[in-house]
Amino acid sequence: MPAHIKIRAVGGTSAGAVVAALLAIGTQPSALQEYLKPEIFKGFLSDAGNKRFGRLKEIAQKVGQAIHDQSSRSAISAAWSLYRANKDIKDIVDKRGLYDTGKLSKWVYEVFGDRRFTDKGPNKLEVDDLKIVAADLKTGSYKKYSITDSPEQLVADAVIASICIPILFEPVRKDPEVLVDGGLLSNFPSYLFEESKYPTIGFCLKDDEAQNETNGFGYLKSLLTTMLTAHDKIRSPANYFKLIPITTKDVLSTKFDLTAGDIKYLLDAGRIAASGVDWEEHTSARAIVRHFDKRPHEALDFVLESTSQLFDTYSQPSYKPEDFDEVIEMTTIIHEDGSSDTVLKNSYQVLGEKPLFCTRITLNSVPREHSILDVKPNVTHQGDGFNLITLPAKNLPNEKGYVLFFSPPLDKAVGKCNWQWTTHIPDDFKKLISGEDDVIFYRTKQRAHIHHFMIEFVVLIDERITSDIAVETEFACTVKHEAAVSLNRISYRKIVISTERSQIFATNEFRVKLLVR
């Protein structure tokens, strides 16, 4: 990081809490490697804990041998060892950890002293805010330390609580709290700076894909690794957040016997990751005003409901045009991977004095896994007489759709207008390519007192989909199987389903069933 760039706030959990606190007290990045010396890490583990760990490891090996040999001699030896280990196991259960935190705490207090989260200035905290996360076993929730949440708390206390890896170290007990490593709930708390006024960069340690072990102490190691990383695999990074992964291979957070080679590898990996950051791009000399919504789902629901209500209002009889003519050509391209591209060509003409304010596009009538955000429609129109405003209106499993508002409303002065809607939807026809029937449909509502309508479906199916697919409809139409067409050098079967021009009433749904033979 360039020297002229100032860190305004820093946060972390587990080992990240140590690094965050060191940076907060003004430790220069070049000096951080002094805290990676092997003797420091080995010193965190008490002699009594090491002996207990050694005995338990020996027992685990004997139990594994007994299971492998299936002999009475091995079983007796393993049973006797388990009996002798009763005190060790009881100590771990009672204290909830293999090691006490005595040596670890001593080192932390030596480094951070009596600094509190409110302390600012030289030899204190040199950032505007320091945030550290621990996990409270009593409540199963985060315990966040910061100038706002715990102004008078010692930084050292917060660091110790955040690095007490469950099972490995005894928890920190501060009645009524039982505090352990914040990684139990989130090993990469990107949410800490969701409301930050400044650009935020997060460095996340990422090991190679876990080699899951299911026996002995390998199982324990896999359990700890999974526990410390699982929550963050389902959490998206915060908005306005630049994520920089640092690959650590097999140097896990639970490895305290670091070698000189391990330390060199970690330092080099960090330097490589940092060298790829455009620091100037993610730096701001002044605060940036950003919108942050703590209730995004409720806000989205409000937008969807309001749009639907607006559409329903302008669909009332008093707003309907006298006469309206609608012609649709709907092309659905089904790709080998189950994704789809849809091109919806629309031709509208309003007759009479009353205008048409809006129309609605419904994307599905059967449950789909994708979100409305996966659709990302592209809407274009021909002519200068109007514009289209597209708003999301439905995001239900079996109904997703948009409302399109005409600006200005369409009237007879505009004449015939043409507009086009295109979408790409991942996994839209996943059921079809797995051998299950599916459906293409178009839904329209009577939009005028006299509403004439005609639709033509064009279905293109990637010929690499080997299933024999037939079409079936429940509306009057003609079905033609035409010659295959080539798109991007890929051949597609072509089926055309057409209706005659007719007058429609109420709500109409035109369903083309795709049947796998």
d(CA 86, CA 94): 12
Site of tokens 């009763």: 86
pLDDT at 234 exceeding the cut of 50: no
Q: Is residue 256 part of a domain?
A: yes
**Tokens matching residue 374:** 């996966």
**Proportion of the chain above pLDDT 90, given as a percent:** 29
Residue 464 covered by a domain: yes
Predicted confidence at residue 472, as pLDDT, reads 95
What the block records as the tokens of 468 is 């024999």
Residue 273's pLDDT is what? 87
**Which positions are catalytic?**
14, 181
Question: What is residue 116's DSSP assignment?
Answer: B
How many Cβ atoms from other residues are within 10 Å of residue 131's Cβ? Answer: 24
Same domain, 128 and 269: yes
Higher pLDDT, 40 or 18: 18
146 and 155 Cβ atoms separated by less than 8 Å: no
The count of domains in the chain is 4
Do residues 24 and 167 both lie within one domain?
yes
Task: Please say if the pLDDT value at position 76 is more than 70.
Answer: no
Model confidence over 430-476: pLDDT tens digits? 889 989 999 999 999 899 999 999 999 999 999 999 889 999 999 99
pLDDT surpasses 70 at 110: yes
- How far apart CA 346 and CA 382 sit, in angstroms, is 11
Q: Out of 14-18, 348-352, 398-402, which region has the weakest mean confidence (pLDDT)? A: 398-402
Same domain? For 420 and 489 the reply is yes
* Residue 446 included in any domain: yes
DSSP H or E run through 271: helix 260-275
User: Does 93 score more than 50 pLDDT?
Assistant: no
Q: How far apart are CA 456 and CA 500, in angstroms?
A: 9
Contacts for 382 with CB less than 8 Å, ≥ 6 apart: 417, 418, 419
Contact 395, 372 (CB under 8 A): yes
344 and 385 share a domain?
A: no
* Six-digit token string for 139: 């409540």
Q: Which domain-ending residue is among 249, 276, 303?
A: 276
Q: Of 276, 304, 337, which one is at a domain's C-terminal end?
A: 276
Q: Based on the fold, state whether residues 313 and 248 are members of the same structural domain.
A: no
Query: 105-114, 199-208, 257-266, 374-383: which has the highest mean pLDDT?
Result: 105-114
Give the residue from 96, 114, 137 where a domain finishes: 96
Q: Which domain holds residue 401?
A: 292-319+357-406
Q: Report yes or no on 2 lying in a domain.
A: no
Verify that 335 and 449 share a domain, yes or no. yes
Q: What is the pLDDT of residues 412-428, one digit of tens each?
A: 888 888 999 999 988 88
437 lies in a domain? yes
Same domain for 155 and 78, yes or no, is no
Read off the pLDDT of residues 215-228 as tens digits, 9 standing for 90 and up.
444 544 555 555 55
- Same domain for 343 and 492, yes or no, is yes
Contacts of 317 (CB under 8 A, 6+ apart): 449
Q: Is the pLDDT of residue 83 over 50?
A: no
Please indicate, yes or no, whether residues 301 and 376 belong to a single structural domain of this protein: yes
Give residue 46's pLDDT band: very low, low, confident or very high (50, 70, 90).
low
| Strand pairing class (177-181; 129-136) | antiparallel
**What pLDDT is recorded for position 114?**
92
| Rounded-to-integer distance, Cα 255 and Cα 105, Å | 18
193 and 117 together in one domain: yes
Q: Is 287 a domain residue?
A: no
pLDDT tens-digit series, residues 318-337 = 999 999 999 999 999 999 99
228 lies in the same domain as 184: yes
pLDDT of 92 above 60: no
User: Bridge partners of 424?
Assistant: 341
**Position 3 in a domain:** no
One domain, residues 67 and 35: no
Please, are residues 180 and 163 in contact by the beta-carbon 8 Å criterion?
Answer: no
Q: What is the pTM of this model?
A: 0.50
| Average confidence (pLDDT) over 360-383 | 75
**159 lies in some domain:** yes
